[in-house]
A and B are shown apart, each in its own frame.
Chain A
């Protein structure tokens, strides 16, 4: 048996997720670096499966690169934990395993580059940990 959970990784830090209107699927238009909100949902998870599904891609020389970053609390900085290589077209991108999920807090950094680029996509991560959880843990 296992415990699994999934959440999208594309909410802005100042977005309230209630209402289902803000983030999934996500469209990013124009060259930019998008930093998601901080996700504490994975603090209890041991492993992750990073999932990217691109349903629209336009522009010239456009690329979309996803980096999963973890919060180094002692230093107060974000550190790269996993990367999905640059994508340029509609694709069901091969999942990337993140094992283990060392950090409590993660965010997605999404870099869009190129000339008049635009991408519509779903970015999420499935978290996994073993069951049972010890009662004294």
Chain B
């Protein structure tokens, strides 16, 4: 059955996106993924785990390790999956990025890091907004922790824009729900076959004109982040905006998460 175009569009947009115009969506319906893994491990279109009648995208470390960092860092950890969509925006717009995600396999409540980012470069610097979606232990409430630009710069003293310097993450929201990583998993070699799982939702909004965060929604909680600055690091890399999801682990145990209905929203021209 082929649905009418408008009907297909409506069902593809997650109802928890509360603001903005949908600029792009990755619902993984197409057999070839339009996003790219710019790290190691792998991604694939997953028909074992679906949401709203659509395939999802699985992110798998493939046993690769991230070196055991304390947090997701100032720049993306290349020892894991970095799946991204690149767009061009001239530091004059407010952008959002929303995903549904579930902790699919075992071993995700420790030694694993999940984050999502919106960042841009101007030829000399990179400006990162990143939220660490921290499971925070076995069946604990998930934490939303942002890469805190001002605190990170302060922690780096005389070299505030050094990319390899330590990052400071600040907890800005705590979900009321358990993270779901300790139960309802899908991990066939260990007799876990729960395809339904427990789906989280996250939406990050950033203002590239002010170089500030705007807001973060984690599950049903939304918080104002307008007092927080993006992190600034030296970078001569590709001057373009990136929307990305990062997933890595500090041990070689294979583990994986699933992402559904990835949506980019244009909130406003700043």
Contact = CB atoms under 8 A, between A and B. Distances in A.
Interface of A: 3, 5, 13-18, 37-41, 43-45, 73-76, 104-105, 127, 129, 132-137
B248 to A, nearest CB: 12
8 contacts: A14-B40, A16-B39, A17-B38, A38-B42, A40-B43, A44-B30, A105-B44, A135-B29
Interface in B30-54: 30-33, 37-48, 53
Contacts of B26: none
Contact of B38 (A16, A133, A134): A16
A41 B2 contact: no
Contacts of A127: 31
B3 A13 contact: no
A16 B42 contact: no
B1 A136 contact: yes
Contacts of B40: 13-16, 37
Interface stretch (B56-64, B207-215, B226-234): B56-64
B189 interface: yes
**Nearest 8 A/B pairs, CB to CB:** A40-B44, A44-B31, A43-B44, A76-B189, A135-B3, A74-B188, A38-B42, A43-B45
Contacts of A136: 1, 3, 53
Nearest to A14: B40
B58 A40 contact: yes
A102 B241 CA distance: 37
B1 A135 contact: yes
Contact of A14 (B2, B43, B64): B64
Contacts of A3: 30-32
Counting chain B residues whose Cβ lies within 8 A of the other chain, the interface size class is: 20 to 34
A105 B53 contact: no
A41 B29 contact: no
Contact of B1 (A14, A45, A134): A134
A134 B42 CA distance: 26
A7 to B, nearest CB: 10
Contacts of A41: 32-33, 44
Interface of B: 1-3, 8, 29-33, 37-48, 53, 55, 58, 60, 62-64, 78, 188-189
A3 B31 CA distance: 8
B29 A5 contact: no
B29 A104 contact: no
Given A129-B31, A133-B31, A40 B1 contact: no
Contacts of B45: 40, 43-44, 104
A76 B255 CA distance: 12
Nearest to A46: B31
B114 to A, nearest CB: 18
Nearest to A39: B42
Given A44-B32, A127-B31, A133-B31, 11 more contacts: A3-B31, A5-B32, A13-B40, A14-B64, A16-B39, A18-B38, A40-B44, A41-B44, A44-B55, A135-B3, A137-B53
